[in-house]
Each structure stands twice: as structure tokens, then as C-alpha cells.
């Protein structure tokens, strides 16, 4: 990030990270410039920075859109061919060292250990909701705050019903798009094409996230209890950079296998979900 953006970040984190100069200790920043930082101290600093980002910045930079933000988001997805859509949801693997407890919960189908980052992004590739969980992916979704929120809302809607639209007399709630879970039939090819074109935005967001914060690319050997904080901090910093207009060079892109996504479990669509999808077929 640019120096200007970095200083803005430092100012936001100052209340959580600023050290006091005493008769016994100068600030860590001064000592680092003169002597470097030891590994143990570095680990402590990483935890402190991640904690500070979560405490001071998480709710500010990662939240579901409401008001004008919601209208702009829905309009943005409508321009991509998906009316009434409020976000794209997907997951990606974060490589980790094999944990000592319950390692099987983290062992993925590729033969290595990982945590799963489930993310929802808006039309500008900024995260609006994140959840870090362990395998299998169905448990990640079922345990995520966004799933619990929707389940407890009236009718299972993510947003209140006054935000719903209408197609041919059928109420269409604001919805999230993900992988298509139905067979590809001729009458659905155009719909599937536009769905794919709209939902690819979440894949691009994951690519930029890992391209910027390379610690999410290779195996992370930190304590498993700290992995979630590191991932959350990187997601917040991703939004911070995007909202500050930081450039993202193409040569930062990582190979596609580095952003490998979890395999979704095929489940039966509910009757209401099928009806909504079929109604959307008439307008997209």
C-alpha cells in the first residue's frame, strides 16, 4: 500500500498499538530500527496487530450493506445480470500446519491441512461478511453468523421483507449467489452464464486477497488458535486497500490452485428457492 494509506492505517490502529516510552523501555519501533526484532517478539506483535485490527476496524470495514450501500450493491449486481442480488458467496482454503488436536477436521481432499474462509463480497469486490471455520465445508456454512442470522429472520430472509422485489407476482427476497446446484438445461444456459459472470467477482476477491497478503498462500505455521485472527485481519486490510483505491498489479495474481475452493455438498433445493430461481429465469 502507499505511504499515505499506511499512515492512515497506523492512525486507526494507534489506540490499540501505541507503546509508551518509560525509563525502562523505549518503544518497540525505535528498538527495531536499531537492532531488529527477535522471532518471539515478532509473534507477539503479529497477535497484537491482528487483535487491534479486529477490535478497531472489523465492524467498520466488514459489514452487511444497508441504506445507500445496499441500494448501490443491488444496482451493481443488477448491472451484472442478477436483479435483487445482494452479494456473492464462496469459500477458499487457507493452508495451515497440521494441528495437534483433531487433525482430521482440517485435512482436505487434496491431502493437506487447511482452514476454510467463507466470504460474501459486494459488487466492488469488498467483503461484507466473513467466517473462518474448519472442514467440512457444510459445517462452515451452518455455523456461520450469516446462516444463523438468516435462519432466525422471519421467513428465513437475510433482509427484512420490505426490501423484497416482485417478478410476475412472486415475491423475490434479496439473495446471495453461489455455485449453481442444478443440472444445466437448455432453457437455463443464459441464466447460468449470467450467474457465473456475476459470482466470479467473489473468486476475484479471493485472488486479490491472497495476492496482497501472501501469508494466506503458503502453509501458515502459527498456532491454530491465531489463524482465524490473521485471516480476519487480512480481509479487513483487503477492504481497507480497496476502499482507499490502492492499485493491484496483475503480476500479484497467484496460480488458480492457490485459491482452490471447497467442494460444495449437493443438497435438495427448497420449493421456494426453486420458484424464485424459475422466476429469475424470466428476466435474466
The CA distance from 66 to 135, in Å, is 31
Classified as helix, coil or strand, 95 is strand
Strand order in the sheet with 85-95: 127-133, 114-121, 85-95, 175-177
Q: Stretch 215-243: mean pLDDT, rounded?
A: 90
Distance (Å) of CA 222 to CA 107, 226, 244: 17, 7, 29
Any alpha helices (H) in the chain, and if so which ranges?
A: 3-17, 28-35, 39-56, 58-61, 68-79, 137-143, 145-152, 189-212, 224-243, 271-281
Confidence check: pLDDT of 184 > 60? no
> What number of other Cβ atoms are within 10 A of residue 180's Cβ?
15
Classified as helix, coil or strand, 171 is strand
Classified as helix, coil or strand, 152 is helix
Domain locations along the chain: 65-281
Q: What is the pLDDT of residue 231?
A: 94
The 10s digit of each residue's pLDDT in 27-73 is 555 555 555 677 777 788 888 999 999 999 999 999 999 999 999 99
Q: What is the pLDDT of residue 91?
A: 87
Cell digits for 68?
445507500
Confidence check: pLDDT of 131 > 80? yes
Confidence check: pLDDT of 5 > 90? yes
Of residues 5 and 260, which shows the higher confidence score? Answer: 5
Q: What is the pLDDT of residue 9?
A: 94
The CA distance from 42 to 124, in Å, is 34
Distance (Å) of CA 229 to CA 28, 116, 129, 176, 283: 22, 13, 15, 25, 42
Residues 238, 192 contacting (CB under 8 angstroms): no
The pTM (predicted TM-score) of the whole model is 0.79
The 10s digit of each residue's pLDDT in 104-129 is 888 888 888 888 899 999 999 999 99
Q: Stretch 185-194: mean pLDDT, rounded?
A: 63
Residues 216, 160 contacting (CB under 8 angstroms): no
Q: What is the pLDDT of residue 190?
A: 63
Amino acid at each position: 500500500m502507499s505511504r499515505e494509506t499506511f499512515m492512515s492505517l497506523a492512525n486507526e490502529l494507534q489506540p490499540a498499538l501505541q507503546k509508551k516510552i518509560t525509563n525502562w523501555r523505549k518503544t518497540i519501533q525505535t528498538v527495531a530500527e536499531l537492532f531488529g526484532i527477535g522471532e518471539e517478539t515478532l509473534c507477539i506483535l503479529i497477535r497484537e496487530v491482528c487483535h487491534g485490527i479486529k477490535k478497531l476496524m472489523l465492524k467498520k470495514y466488514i459489514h452487511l450493506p444497508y441504506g445507500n450501500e445496499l441500494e448501490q450493491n443491488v444496482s451493481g449486481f443488477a448491472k451484472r445480470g442478477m436483479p435483487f442480488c445482494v452479494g456473492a458467496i464462496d469459500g477458499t482454503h487457507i493452508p495451515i500446519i497440521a494441528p495437534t488436536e483433531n487433525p482430521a477436521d482440517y485435512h482436505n481432499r487434496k491431502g493437506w491441512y487447511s482452514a476454510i474462509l467463507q466470504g460474501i463480497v459486494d459488487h466492488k469486490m469488498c467483503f461484507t461478511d466473513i467466517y473462518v471455520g474448519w472442514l467440512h465445508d457444510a459445517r462452515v456454512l451452518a455455523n456461520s453468523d450469516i446462516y444463523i442470522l438468516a435462519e432466525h429472520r422471519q421467513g428465513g430472509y437475510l433482509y427484512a421483507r420490505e426490501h423484497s422485489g416482485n417478478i410476475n407476482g412472486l415475491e423475490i427476497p434479496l439473495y446471495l449467489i453461489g455455485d449453481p446446484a442444478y443440472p444445466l438445461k437448455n432453457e437455463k444456459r443464459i441464466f447460468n452464464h449470467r450467474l457465473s459472470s456475476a459470482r466470479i467477482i467473489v473468486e476475484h476477491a479471493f485472488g486479490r486477497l491472497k495476492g496482497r497478503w501472501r501469508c494466506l498462500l503458503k502453509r501458515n505455521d502459527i498456532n491454530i488458535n491465531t489463524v482465524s485472527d490473521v485471516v480476519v485481519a487480512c480481509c479487513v486490510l483487503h477492504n481497507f486497500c480497496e476502499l482507499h483505491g490502492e492499485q493491484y498489479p496483475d503480476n500479484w495474481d497467484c496460480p488458480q490452485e492457490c485459491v482452490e475452493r471447497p467442494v460444495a455438498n449437493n443438497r435438495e433445493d427448497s420449493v421456494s428457492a426453486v420458484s424464485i430461481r424459475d422466476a429469475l429465469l424470466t428476466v435474466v
